[in-house]
Structure 1
């Protein structure tokens, strides 16, 4: 159920924002998960916002061919095609 998933991802994001340093990998993962939910519910602008936040947090830390970076980049491309 997307609404329940979104609720828990947003709750996790709130906790992580209060307890973790800025650009922590868990923040990026959570933003990416939120982007996936919004993408699945056809809320593409909001999905793109979270996807861009996620990739922005990891692109300084990971090389371009890292699996996580590729996953995040592919999600952005998928959303971009739907906008």
Structure 2
């Protein structure tokens, strides 16, 4: 449990950097939101986890093919958080 806050801090820093250097709908931004969703879910912060998972799915739908393994994984995580 100690590592989750550190992981979250790292993901937030990465997201800040990506927003400065990449388009807001870049696949790396989606991946970072997905990773943040995993951490928030592990911390029991399901509402925040769902927000990040939804952003990841939205970006992935814009940028990736429907059968891309990343988008499939992002959708699966979103479904898990919703249930």
What TM-score do the two structures reach when normalised by structure 1? 0.93
**What are the ranges of 5 or more consecutive residues in structure 1 without an aligned counterpart?**
none
Aligned counterparts of 1:10 and 1:35: Cα–Cα separation in 2: 11
Contact 2:57 2:71 in 1 (8 A): yes
Of the candidates 31, 37, 40, which is equivalent to residue 38 of structure 1?
A: 40
Q: Does 1:6 align with 2:8?
A: yes
1:13 Cα offset (Å):
0.4
Of the candidates 57, 61, 64, which is equivalent to residue 62 of structure 1?
A: 64
What TM-score do the two structures reach when normalised by structure 2? 0.93
Corresponding pairs, count: 81
Aligned counterparts of 1:61 and 1:25: Cα–Cα separation in 2: 7
